[in-house]
Amino acid sequence: MVQPPDRAKVAFWNQSLAPFVGPDTRRSVTQLLTSAVPFFALWTLSYQALAVSYWLTLVLSVPTAGFLMRLFMIQHDCGHGSFFHSRRARDTVGFWIGVLTLTPYAYWRKTHAYHHAHSGDLDLRGFGDIDTLTVSEYLSLPRHRRFAYRVYRHPLILFGIGAVLHFVIVHRFPWTTPRNWTEAWRSVWLTNLALVALVSALALTIGLKSFILVHAPVLVVTCSLGVWLFYVQHQFENTYWHRHENWDYYDAALEGSSLLLLPSPLQWLTANIGIHHVHHLSARIPNYKLEEAMWAVPELQNPTRIRIGDTLELVTRTLWDESEERLVRFRDVKRLPPGRTAA
C-alpha cells in the first residue's frame, strides 16, 4: 500500500522554497533576449562564414549550439509555468522555441511533467526518461533484446546517433504517445507544419544546401549536449529508484537528482539546469532563481555532485540493482552470485 506523503516534510519544503517560486518578468525577458539575439547572430555569422571557410562555420556551430541549448532551457521553464505569469506568453514563446529545437512544446510539456511526477519510481517508467532496466529485467530478456538494450545504452548511440534521431525523427511522430493526448498531438502537427514553412523559406532565400551545412552541425552538438545534460542529472551510481509503494517524491528529488558542477560560463549557458535537485523539488522555480534557493536552504547544499570528468564512468552504469540499490555496469552482472544471474 502506498504511504501518504509526510505532511511535515511537505510543509517544510513548501515554506522553504516559497520565496523563490514564480517568475520575475524583467529577468525572464532579459534572459530571453540574451539567449535569442546571440543565437540568431551566431547563426547568421555561421552562414556568412561559408564564403570564407567551412571550418570556420563548424567552429561557430559550437557556441551557436550553446545558445540554442539555452533557448531550450527557456522552453523548459515555460513548460513548467515558471518563466512568465501569462500562460499565453509561456505557450507562445515555448512553441516557437520548440520549432527551433525540434521539440513539440505541448507534447514535451506533458511527457516532462510525467517525468517530474514519477522520477525514480520503478513502477511508473516510460515517459520522459532514459530507458533504464533493472538487473532482473535485463536478465529475463531474450538474447536479441539484451543486445538491443546494450546498443541503446552505448554512448555513441545515446549521445550521438540516437540523440539526433530522437529530436529529428521521433519528435515528428512520437508513436508511443497515447491517442487521447489531443493537445500534445496538436502540438506535434503544428510544430511539423511550422518546420516545413521555416525550412522552405530558408531554402528559397539562402538555399537548402547552405541551410543544411550551417544547421546540421548546430543540431548535432545541441542534441548530444542536451541528452548528456539530462543523463548526468539522474544516472549516477547511488541515484534513487524504488518501487511505487516505497517511493517518495522529495527523496527522489534530493537523492535521485544531481548537482552538476560546471564552470560559471557553462552554468550560465545551460541556465542553471545542473542544479537539478532544487529544480525537481519545485519545478515552479525559474532557472535564474535555482542557485539562490540552493544557498538559502542548508538542506539543499549536500546533493550528489557530478563533475564533467565523471561522465566517462557514469555512462558505463546501465542497470539498476534493486538489492544493492545502485546502478551497475554490464560487466558487473557477470560477477553476481549464480542464483541472481540465471535468466
Confirm if 286 and 29 have CB atoms less than 8 A apart.
no
Rounded to whole angstroms, the Cα distance separating 274 from 266 reads: 10
* Stretch 301-328: mean pLDDT: 92
**Who contacts 304 (Cβ-Cβ below 8 Å, separation ≥6)?**
236, 238, 239, 255, 258, 259
Q: Is residue 2 part of a domain?
A: no
Q: Is residue 240 part of a domain?
A: yes
Q: What is the CA radius of gyration of the chain?
A: 21
Rounded to whole angstroms, the Cα distance separating 74 from 273 reads: 10
Question: Over 70: is that where the pLDDT of 4 sits?
Answer: no
166-179, pLDDT tens digit by residue? Answer: 999 999 998 888 88
Total domains in the chain come to 1
Residue listed under C-alpha cell 520503478 = 122
Question: Over 70: is that where the pLDDT of 3 sits?
Answer: no
* Stretch 127-131: mean pLDDT: 82
Confirm if 279 and 294 have CB atoms less than 8 A apart.
no
What pLDDT is attached to residue 277?
A: 95
Confirm if 64 and 39 have CB atoms less than 8 A apart.
yes
Q: Is residue 290 part of a domain?
A: yes
* Stretch 179-201: mean pLDDT: 95
Q: Which stretches of the chain are assigned E, i.e. beta strand?
A: 133-134, 258-261, 304-307, 317-321, 326-329
Q: Taking the model in full, what pTM does it have?
A: 0.91
Q: How many residues does the chain have?
A: 343
Q: Is residue 229 part of a domain?
A: yes
What pLDDT is attached to residue 343?
A: 42
Rounded to whole angstroms, the Cα distance separating 328 from 339 reads: 17
133: helix, coil or strand? Answer: strand
Dihedral angle, C-alpha 235, 251, 108, 96, nearest 10 °:
-100
Question: Over 90: is that where the pLDDT of 191 sits?
Answer: yes
**Who contacts 322 (Cβ-Cβ below 8 Å, separation ≥6)?**
122, 134, 135, 136, 241
Q: Is residue 337 part of a domain?
A: yes
259-269, pLDDT tens digit by residue? Answer: 999 999 999 99
* Stretch 104-110: mean pLDDT: 95
pLDDT averaged over every residue in the chain: 93
* Stretch 84-88: mean pLDDT: 96
What pLDDT is attached to residue 88?
A: 96
Burial of 250 (0-12, 13-18, 19+ CB in 10 A): middle
Confirm if 77 and 84 have CB atoms less than 8 A apart.
no
* Stretch 210-229: mean pLDDT: 95
Question: Over 80: is that where the pLDDT of 339 sits?
Answer: no
Confirm if 167 and 219 have CB atoms less than 8 A apart.
yes
Which residue in 94, 113, 114 sits closest to 104, CA to CA? 94
Burial of 58 (0-12, 13-18, 19+ CB in 10 A): middle
What separation in angstroms does the CA of 223 have from each of 20, 194, 323? 30, 20, 34
Q: Is residue 167 part of a domain?
A: yes
What pLDDT is attached to residue 342?
A: 45
Question: Over 80: is that where the pLDDT of 128 sits?
Answer: no
Domain of 306 in residue numbering reads as 7-341
Which residue in 277, 206, 252 sits closest to 47, CA to CA? 206
Q: Is residue 40 part of a domain?
A: yes
Q: Is residue 215 part of a domain?
A: yes
